[in-house]
Structure 1
């Protein structure tokens, strides 16, 4: 059912199965598609005169690739659909480009590469939208979104005004930002601006990327070559959400002390780890989960992907509660085996 209120078109009791990559049949109390700043202003004004609307819990929804939804959401779901792609300015050493928050992330990355702007290629094929990328500071293959971040514009539901955030104000951390941990759903990101280097250098720190390029005879890769390699690698390891419901990497790679890492190596010398600048070590969560025997296993309609233990999949009809239960079982098993606490990447709503 649809109805209009203050010139805003709300949808009532909406199924979100196709709006979240895990494919959970969640039902939203109300949904509003946001494709302009003017709509946000009108919504803020509506809040001032409609207590029922203003008091609904808000959920800001991008591509739905980092959410695990409950069966019913008593929320006002704001589906972000703001589109734009543009070169803002070209300096002596950078291309400054901006994208609307509702742009598909991978399509935006491919657009930058087609324009000759390198820098985002290592983040190819990450699901979701541009507006979601700063929220959890997406990253892959040695590059994080913050490495190319310039600024963003967000609408503040407290003040009813737009605000520009620089890098420091976003408080980026590993798969985190103040938008995710400090003030979730206060701000709706409208657009994100990136600074892409003219003096481009390939980031091939992850061995499988370098090996892939070497195997196909590319010794001096260009940005498009790196992107193509990463797309091929990701497709070989990760399931397509359009075919198998999933939220991508489900657990963060844990950071542990040198002492704990040494204890693990004494029992498991093959443990995969990466030294950090502060002397700690990042462990491969997928390896920990695989070593505990979870890869390919399922519990009811939720399973661990057979090709990558870091990914949980919807085998058909999974609920948010069932996903949470399996995640907790995996966390418990890994802690019992390695004394390592795994942290979930997606947000449970």
Structure 2
């Protein structure tokens, strides 16, 4: 295991922001993970697990503890009796690399999640989702190191407590488990999921529903869907590219809020539009999900808005970007301004999606 001291964290993040870690440990095996936890405890220091750095806002002062850089690599396909192959994947593998591995083998279930930066180990933590799919739909088992019991455990899908952008890993058991492997159960020769309007438009399909497609021959392949998702994401600056300033972000910065029907009515009144024209989706228990981007735009935070060195992407309303030389303080100032203005106008509280460190 490689142990380094005072390593700058900004280069390990897509935002390009963050001070140094007191200790930086690169782990490539499960034994390394256990040793890293012992090292942190022996130094009486906090521990943070760093994967692809695509969903992080790291403090300008850095992290005064031990950063465990997850680099466990493994990608194996295992046949299962019920005919649904299991992919066993190390937490340090590239997520988009895994998606490509699956679609090239005609394994359905994650084709709409193509182009998302980061590593596999981070996906169950926030139940990563996009374009109508979530990783919770295909995760069978998450293998973790339990820092309380100092033992490796395997958690079933149900035990992970998946919900919209959440799991036990970022709620009730935050900080307890270190993900080292994720097992995915996929559908061989399955049809692609084409529930998202932008994706259906890309292929010239009707938007109303999948039932508009009458024959399997009309469906694009899994690989074609994955590449279409990457194209759509790239057009929004949501595929990391060092040459594209719009991609110096942490992805969507705010979760889509889940609110009451009364809050939806109030939002439509404030915006001066009919409730039917406000985009929203059922969220269970009489609640609805509103697009955070819709709220930002109507509060005056449009694409290209800037506040010092931090700003909003010119391609995607929800992406807060490092315009060049931005600090964590710059991003926080922009975040607080957006949250305050949306709260004042709509009485809706936005929640940050990226993890704050330090």
Task: Please give the TM-score of this superposition, normalised by the length of structure 1.
Answer: 0.92
1:70 to 59, 64, 78: 59
Name segments (4+ residues, structure 1) moved above 4 Å: 44-48
Report the Cα distance in structure 2 between the residues aligned to 1:275 and 1:183, rounded to whole angstroms: 28
Q: CA deviation at 1:133?
A: 0.2
**1:327 aligns to what?**
335
Deviations 1:232-275 (A, max 9, x none): 11111124432331000000011111122123224233422112
**1:18 aligns to what?**
11
**1:41 aligns to what?**
34
Taking structure 1 as reference, are residues 280 and 318 closer, same or farther at Cα in structure 2, changes over 3 Å only? same
**2:346 aligns to what?**
338
**1:294 aligns to what?**
301
Does the alignment pair 1:262 with 2:262? no
Please list every run of 5 or more consecutive structure 1 residues that lacks an aligned counterpart in the other structure: 1-7
Alignment of structure 1 residues 238-317 onto 2, 5 Å: 238-241=237-240, 242=242, 243-244=244-245, 245-266=248-269, 267-269=272-274, 270-295=277-302, 296-317=304-325
Is the CA contact (8 Å cut-off) linking 1:93 and 1:199 kept in structure 2?
no
Q: CA deviation at 1:91?
A: 3.5
Q: CA deviation at 1:161?
A: 1.1
Report the Cα distance in structure 2 between the residues aligned to 1:44 and 1:290, rounded to whole angstroms: 44
Please list every run of 5 or more consecutive structure 2 residues that lacks an aligned counterpart in the other structure: 206-216
2:123 to 133, 149, 152: 133
Deviations 1:19-45 (A, max 9, x none): 011101421111000110121233345
Is the CA contact (8 Å cut-off) linking 1:119 and 1:223 kept in structure 2?
no
Taking structure 1 as reference, are residues 201 and 279 closer, same or farther at Cα in structure 2, changes over 3 Å only? farther
User: Structure 1 residues 128-137 or 109-118, which shifts more?
Assistant: 109-118
Report the Cα distance in structure 2 between the residues aligned to 1:289 and 1:224, rounded to whole angstroms: 34
Is the CA contact (8 Å cut-off) linking 2:108 and 2:190 kept in structure 1?
yes
Is the CA contact (8 Å cut-off) linking 1:12 and 1:29 kept in structure 2?
yes
Taking structure 1 as reference, are residues 265 and 43 closer, same or farther at Cα in structure 2, changes over 3 Å only? closer
**2:168 aligns to what?**
178
Task: Please give the TM-score of this superposition, normalised by the length of structure 2.
Answer: 0.89
Report the Cα distance in structure 2 between the residues aligned to 1:58 and 1:140, rounded to whole angstroms: 29
**1:97 aligns to what?**
87
Taking structure 1 as reference, are residues 25 and 40 closer, same or farther at Cα in structure 2, changes over 3 Å only? closer
